[in-house]
Structure 1
Amino acid sequence: MTAAGCGASKQTDNADTSTGKTATPTEPAKLKNIKVVLDWTPNTNHTGLYVAKELGYYKDAGLNVDIIQPGSGSADNMVASGAAEFGVSYQESITQARTQNVPLVSLAAVIQHNTSGFAAPVDRKIKSPKDFEGKKYGGWGSPVEQAVMKSIMELQGADVSKVTNINMGDADYFTAVKRDIDFAWIYYAWTGIEAQLRGEPLDMLYVKDYSEKLDYYTPVIASSEKVISGDPEMVKAFMSATSKGYQYAIDHPEEAAKILLKAAPDLDEKLVMASQKWLSPRYKDDAPRWGEQKESVWKNYSDWMYEHKLLDKPLEVNKAYTNDYLPAAK
């Protein structure tokens, strides 16, 4: 930017020899202001967004992007209401929204495979879903939690009614397992890595290992039908720059982690670095490009939700997601 500015200044000092008039500097293109709202506080799920902003990828795409936190409202609500053009969401919540006539659309899978699951300190001896029996589970009171737990327990002939459920809300996992609960649902890339750094080993039961229908996209980048139809070129520009940000994080995990830390200096540096190194290769994983979504993944999970009475009607899968705004695979 400095070099460009110097170039513009030089031009104003020079006369146009063909006309004898002083050259007029070119007006810089006006950036379009947009907001992207996170699902939670900044973490390594969001690194590509911060990289795209810090390294000027959004600016190069003609965008002035403000990355914000959801506050009292959810990211989905803010995107659906038009308070933000884009948000970090989940396949589960977009599926539920679509079947309730809320026109949210997933534009990219942040992580290609589900890295979440049930985690317990090793001294609780929870090696399989059968071992949930007689234990205390700390959750947030979602029907999906119970359905997932029930379905993977039943695969092993276990009884979900023998699990004691405790609503722990936003309580710290490490405090809760010492005081109130035996296991909880976590994202390994953050809480699991933190456990490693604390020297508190976990038994981790990834839900995708028990059913391919539970290998869904979490999180995703979402927008609304209104934004997409109203300015498809802006959406394409945003997703191209975002893809570039995540590709940088794939290729340069340490540098990307430093960018996240610069944007969110209150985060633990060791945790961010370790988490980023673990997560970066998993953003794209076995997909042909970052963000690519498969119809089978959307259909499998929505069918599972419908079978478990978590949806009032089947999902129109082709309206819930699109790959059309991602740059072509190289």
Structure 2
Amino acid sequence: MKWGKMASVLMMSLTVVVAGCGAKTDNNGNSATATSAATEKPAATAAASTKPAKLTDVKIVLDWTPNTNHTGLYVAKDQGYFEQEGLNVEIIQPGDGGSEGMVAAGKAEFGVSVQESITNARIQGVPIVSIAAIIQHNTSGFASPVSKNIKTPKDFEGKTYGGYGAPVEMAVIESLMQQEKANVSKVKVVNIGSADYFTAVKRDIDFSWIYYAWTGVDAELRNEPINMIYLTKYSDKLDYYTPVLATSEKMIKEKPEIVKAFTAAAAKGYQFAIDKPEEAANMLLKAVPDLDKKLVIASQKWLSPKYKDDAPRWGEQKRAVWDNYATWMLDHKLLEKKLDVDAAFTNDFLPGSKK
């Protein structure tokens, strides 16, 4: 499940509005001689006053290396959506503590996370909150080369799973296998560490947990066909949000206008990626040129319709989804206590919200 772990960047220039005499900067960063404020045309003065005198610096920390889960953020930077909302946004990579720890510690105002991580964090008393679902439904599952003949969870018996050492992995495998009365004790587990799916299945494993939008699409491009067992096919409770945008309770309490502005710009970015996948993919590639161009474009075309999917708007989160997965985690002894679901997420900052 490499993409979410498994899961530098361009900086926006500030637009400075200078009153009175002296130098002033236009939208393209060109220096021009300013006339006296008294001689400025009223229309020009009114137009200038609608722009923020100074952009607010904020950071968003990713959950993993840049990929098409993050495209909407790069589009929002490229198209100036953040700047229009008065924000100068820097996209940064996660440190050892992950995006959740950095957001909670105030090292970044926003972060990319997943429902599982936020649930665990809140159980441990870490005050972070999901403010938007980046993808509406879980697109992850267990992949294997077609030659392994693994078509259902029952076929996991006698096979070797390549994992990353997270307790949730075997809980999910067991949950799926129980649907078919299969025996999870017949599954051998190997920790593949930093090895990718393609390396591991050629070496010592039969199947692994992947996100289709990246590894699955990559398999298509490599002409290495796979069998894919999606989690959502076997359990509604495993249709959780992965990934999401998150912030801290402190930001929501003390700077709600910044949270609202950030979410509004991100929503525009993801809507652009929904409407124009290839253009959006090229904006991601412009910002992160080391990425594989064919993979990014193909992945974007596959993923863009799934950002919003059947939701009434991009980013919408359902209470039932949060409750169902937290209940599943509690039932499988992955949580120490019941989650306060209503404190873990909010739709209040999405465009169109009444609050």
Q: Which bracket does the TM-score occupy, shorter chain normalised?
A: over 0.9
* Residue 187 (str. 1) matches residue 211 (str. 2): yes
Deviating above 3 A after TM superposition, structure 1's stretches of 4 or more consecutive aligned residues are: 1-11, 25-28
Quick one: distance in 1 between partners of 2:129 and 2:170? Answer: 26
* Residue 143 (str. 1) matches residue 189 (str. 2): no
Pairwise CA distance, 1:170: 1.9
Q: Name the CA shift for 1:323/1:269 in 2 (closer, same or farther; >3 Å).
A: same
TM-score, length basis structure 1: 0.94
Residue identity in the other structure for 2:351: P
Aligned to 1:21: none
Quick one: distance in 2 between partners of 1:229 and 1:182? Answer: 48
Quick one: distance in 1 between partners of 2:68 and 2:296? Answer: 7
Aligned to 1:318: 342
CA deviations on 1:130-159 (whole Å, 9 max, x unpaired) are 000111101111111110100110110111
Q: Which runs of 5+ in 1 are unaligned?
A: 19-24
Aligned to 2:3: none
Q: Name the CA shift for 1:161/1:30 in 2 (closer, same or farther; >3 Å).
A: same
Quick one: distance in 2 between partners of 1:102 and 1:252? Answer: 37
Alignment of 1:151-300 (within 5 A): 151-300=175-324
Which of 154, 158, 179 is residue 130 of structure 1 equivalent to?
A: 154
- 8 A Cα contact 2:82 2:265, kept in partner: yes
* Residue 16 (str. 1) matches residue 7 (str. 2): no
Q: Name the CA shift for 1:17/1:297 in 2 (closer, same or farther; >3 Å).
A: closer
Aligned to 2:81: 57
Aligned to 1:34: 58
Aligned to 2:115: 91
Q: Name the CA shift for 1:75/1:105 in 2 (closer, same or farther; >3 Å).
A: same
CA deviations on 1:163-210 (whole Å, 9 max, x unpaired) are 111111221110100011110000000000000000000000000110
Pairwise CA distance, 1:230: 1.1
Q: Name the CA shift for 1:11/1:28 in 2 (closer, same or farther; >3 Å).
A: farther
Residue identity in the other structure for 2:250: K
* Residue 115 (str. 1) matches residue 106 (str. 2): no
Pairwise CA distance, 1:73: 2.7
Aligned to 2:71: 47
Quick one: distance in 2 between partners of 1:51 and 1:128? Answer: 38
- 8 A Cα contact 2:52 2:86, kept in partner: no
Secondary structure, counterpart of 1:78 in structure 2: helix
Secondary structure, counterpart of 1:276 in structure 2: helix
CA deviations on 1:223-280 (whole Å, 9 max, x unpaired) are 1101111100000000000000000000010000000001111100000000000000
- 8 A Cα contact 2:26 2:32, kept in partner: no
Secondary structure, counterpart of 1:120 in structure 2: strand
- 8 A Cα contact 2:161 2:207, kept in partner: yes
Secondary structure, counterpart of 1:179 in structure 2: coil
Aligned to 1:303: 327
Quick one: distance in 2 between partners of 1:81 and 1:13? Answer: 45
Residue identity in the other structure for 1:221: L
Pairwise CA distance, 1:128: 0.2
Q: Name the CA shift for 1:271/1:6 in 2 (closer, same or farther; >3 Å).
A: closer
Secondary structure, counterpart of 1:114 in structure 2: coil
- 8 A Cα contact 2:161 2:189, kept in partner: yes
Secondary structure, counterpart of 1:313 in structure 2: coil
Residue identity in the other structure for 1:12: T
Pairwise CA distance, 1:72: 2.6
Q: Name the CA shift for 1:76/1:277 in 2 (closer, same or farther; >3 Å).
A: same
Pairwise CA distance, 1:29: 1.3
Secondary structure, counterpart of 2:124 in structure 1: coil
Residue identity in the other structure for 2:83: K
